[in-house]
Amino acid sequence: EGAIGSEFKIDASYLSPNVNVATRLEAATTQFGVWMLVSHFMIELCNPEMGAHCRLIDHVVVKGSRTPLRLYTVDLDCLALGVQLSRPERIIKNRFKIRQLRELRKNEKWSEEYTVYEAFETDEDIVRMRAKFSMEFFRRFSMAYRNYEAGEWRVARDMLFTCHYTPKSDAGRYVVTSEADWPEDGPTVTLLNFMQQTKYRPPQDWPGHRELPDH
C-alpha cells in the first residue's frame, strides 16, 4: 500500500498501543484468575455508580508500553449459574418466544435510558454471580491493596490473608501457616505471590506499580 503517485510503499499495521494493551490484559486474566480485566482509562468513562462495582486489583506496566495502568475487575462467579435442561419438544415450542424475548432485551440495552449499573441489583443472573462477594470482602481487599501500593507490604500481606469469601475471614483469628491457607481469590493470590518473591519487602525505589509478566 502507498500514497497515490508515490513510489514508496507503506506497511500498515493494526497493532496500535491500544490493541497491544487490550491483548495483554486479555492474556493476563488467567494470571489473576478473573473473567475480565479493565484499565483505569475505561473506568474513567463509567459513571460513579458503575465504577463502584469494579474492584481495583493491581497497578502495572504492560510489555510494549511505558504508561502504568491501574487494573480493575468486575467480580462475577459465572460458575454459580446453573444449566436448565429442557425436553426437545419444549425447546422447539418455546424457540419463537425466546427469540422475541432476546430481541426485546437487546433493544432495552441499546436504549439511551438503559443504565448498566442497575443490572447489578435487578438482573437475577448477575445477582446470583455476585452473591459470594460480600461487602466485608471488598472492604478488606481495598485496605490491603492501598497498603500494597503504598509499599507497606507486610501490612498488606496480613490483610490479604483475611480476604476470604467465607465468614472465616474474621481478622485476627485466622492463622496462615502455608499457602494452602491462602484465600481462593485470584487477585489476592497474585499479589501475595508477587510480594513473596522478596519476602514481603518492597524495593527501596518502589514506585507503586510493577511490570506485568507475560505469564
**Distance (Å, whole) CA 137 – CA 139:** 5
Q: Of 48-57, 145-154, 161-170, 200-209, give the lowest mean pLDDT range.
A: 161-170
Instruction: Give the model's pLDDT for residue 120.
Output: 92
* Residue 83 and residue 70 in one domain: no
Looking at the structure, tell me whether residues 186 and 83 fall in a common domain.
no
Q: Which domain holds residue 105?
A: 79-130
Task: Verify that 66 and 159 share a domain, yes or no.
Answer: yes
Work out the average pLDDT over 12-39.
86
- Domain membership flag for residue 8: no
> How many domains does the chain divide into?
2
Residues 155 and 176 in one domain: yes
**Does residue 93 share a domain with residue 42?**
no
10 Å CB burial of residue 104 (0-12, 13-18, 19+) is: exposed
- Quote the DSSP letter at residue 78: G
Do 91 and 31 share a structural domain? no
In a domain, 9, yes or no: no
The last residue of a domain, from among 130, 147, 165: 130
Q: Confirm whether 3 is domain-assigned.
A: no
Higher-scoring residue by pLDDT: 150, 18: 150
Average pLDDT, the chain: 86
Domain co-membership, 47 together with 88: no
Task: Report yes or no: 28 and 212 within 8 Å, Cβ to Cβ.
Answer: yes
The answer as to whether 87 is a domain residue is yes
Among 114, 130, 146, the domain-final residue is 130
Residues 46 and 138 in one domain: yes
User: Is 67 contained in some domain?
Assistant: yes
What's the confidence (pLDDT) of residue 55? 98
Query: Over the stretch 63-105, which tens digit does the pLDDT of each residue have?
Result: 988 899 999 999 999 888 877 665 555 555 677 787 888 888 8
The pLDDT of residue 169: 46
Output helix, strand, coil percentages for the chain, rounded to the nearest 5. 50, 5, 45
pLDDT for 175 beyond 80: no
In this predicted structure, the answer to whether residue 8 has a pLDDT above a threshold of 80 is no
How far is 215 from 205, CA to CA, in rounded Å?
24
pLDDT score at 73: 98
Q: In this predicted model, what pLDDT tens digit does every residue of 107-143 receive, in sequence order?
A: 887 888 888 899 899 989 999 999 999 999 999 999 9
3-state secondary structure 84-151: CCCCHHHHHHHHHHHHHHHHHHHHHHHCCCCCHHHHHHHCHHHHHHHCCCCHHHHHHHHHHHHHHHHC
**Looking at the domain assignment, is residue 155 inside a domain?**
yes
Tell whether 106 and 205 lie within a shared domain: no
135-150 vs 153-160: helix crossing angle, rounded to 10? 160
How many degrees, rounded to 5, is the angle at CA 144 between CA 35 and CA 50? 45
Q: Is residue 204 part of a domain?
A: yes
